[in-house]
Copies of this chain bind each other. A is one copy, B any other.
């Protein structure tokens, strides 16, 4: 058994049975090993950023890591942006970066580079180069353990080609997964006292707190104490929809977030960091919490604590009655007339299927989406937690692979889609039930807004040209066709609604190019 074979066997034995990949020569033994390990599924991507984003989406829905196979330093570079997002979302990913055979490195061949420097950007906690075939299985088991945490993280295993091709591989032994540590009882009691005091208080929910159990427990606390429920601006995964408590998202624009936080005297961090603005702006504070508000920590993301258990204990300590589903609101009417950001949101809300997974990278066009869908049937919502655009389409791949029985809806900004559009090909190849709505407003609309917010006043035609996507217009129906995904363009809310329903009624991927005017 060569090293590659032991690696793939160890991954599968450790529950990592899906590998998103864009391999090259140095990874050929890993690829060849796929046939010897029937339970490993290889999913090919045309670009590394598709593979890494898919691994993120998979982990958000499964809670366990997928593997990603990349080709040397440049391949890791191409996958870096979506690994950045995975790091910020605190999901587990096992990244395997092939490298030259160890004796080849001294020659500085064309593809030689310092992989470790790049890997540290996304894997500050665990980067390891496997140095001997006999150790590779053990290293793979360690990579899975490191990725799982808690807290979960991106773990990067660098795999020299000769370590992979040499005989003498040994299956790695898996340790018992670590459990999240319980939150200290004193902390829970202290926060219970804050909540009992009845001053204006909010729970600021992030990370694992936004799963179904977490929001139910948070809902009990809110019902018992009157505390407000706030959620991170871009949750990793929020389980929501009819009957579940719906925390209010903290606004992206710092001006509005400050207004949300201003009335509070206490903010309790629940697997979330204290809120700061996304970017800095001249003359504005980055820290969004007013001086008159005290911040309490039930648990921070970096601690990897059992936040859900702590929320349930907290609810019990407050004597909150058990969670009950709120009565489901009525579905909104199917919208008609002009296509706008509002009617787009209404169309999604009017049609979203039970159990859907929404990959939301709609940027400015998605402003009304979350609000409109709060009472839609139960679904999971995935956001751009790390802020690096080009995530939405790959994330949809990973979610669809992880949950083949659930429909995935990817609402995607035009500019953002063009970083990882190759995702459509993998969606077609794997027959994934992904509906993609491209919100085509023909500009980097968010930058038009940011240009003013950063105080760049004297803006001329050359600057505006750098935010413009109209020269030439991009035809997403042609692009989808080129990558094997059937597509249609819609100009009205009626057509969008009908095409959404049509896509949900068919299997396989479909793309809808929605001509939505800019909101600003």
Q: A residues engaging B (CB < 8 A)?
A: 21, 23-26, 28-29, 31-32, 34-36, 42, 44, 46-47, 49, 72-75, 77-81, 84-85, 87-88, 100-101, 103-104, 107-111, 113-115, 117-118, 120-122, 124, 161-162, 165, 234, 273, 276-280, 282, 286-287, 385-388, 390, 415, 418-419, 421-422, 425, 428-429, 446-447, 450-451, 453-456, 458-463, 465-468, 471-479, 481-484
Contact = CB atoms under 8 A, between A and B. Distances in A.
A31 B463 contact: yes
A430 to B, nearest CB: 9
A506 B425 CA distance: 32
Contact of A386 (B49, B75, B110): B110
A24 B77 CA distance: 19
A9 to B, nearest CB: 14
B451 A31 contact: yes
Contacts of A28: 447, 450-451, 454, 456
Count the copies: 2
A484 B36 CA distance: 45
Contacts of A29: 454, 456
A309 B519 CA distance: 60
B104 A286 contact: yes
A472 B425 contact: yes
B80 A84 contact: no
B280 A161 contact: yes
Given A109-B277, A109-B286, A418-B425, 6 more contacts: A44-B468, A49-B78, A101-B286, A103-B286, A428-B472, A479-B479
B114 A121 contact: yes
A474 B415 CA distance: 22
A279 B113 contact: no
B460 A34 contact: yes
A235 to B, nearest CB: 12
A276 B456 contact: no
A451 B33 CA distance: 12
Interface centre among A23, A107, A110, A481 (most CB of B within 10 A): A110
5 contacts: A32-B451, A77-B78, A100-B279, A104-B276, A479-B482
A390 B48 CA distance: 11
Contacts of A278: 25, 109-111
A463 to B, nearest CB: 5
**Residue of A24, A44, A117, A279 ringed by the most chain B CB atoms within 10 A:** A279
A476 B388 CA distance: 28
Contact of A476 (B276, B415, B482): B482
B479 A484 contact: no
Contacts of A107: 276, 286-287
A491 B282 CA distance: 58
Closest 5 CB pairs of A and B: A35-B460, A77-B80, A472-B484, A479-B482, A478-B482
A475 B466 contact: no
A481 B475 contact: yes
Nearest to A428: B472
A25, A87, A474: residue with the most chain B Cβ atoms closer than 10 Å? A25
Contacts of A84: 73-74, 77, 113
A390 B24 CA distance: 13
A287 to B, nearest CB: 7
B455 A165 contact: yes
B478 A25 contact: no
Given A77-B80, A276-B107, A32 B456 contact: yes
A466 B111 contact: no
Nearest to A107: B276
Given A77-B80, A385-B110, A466 B425 contact: no
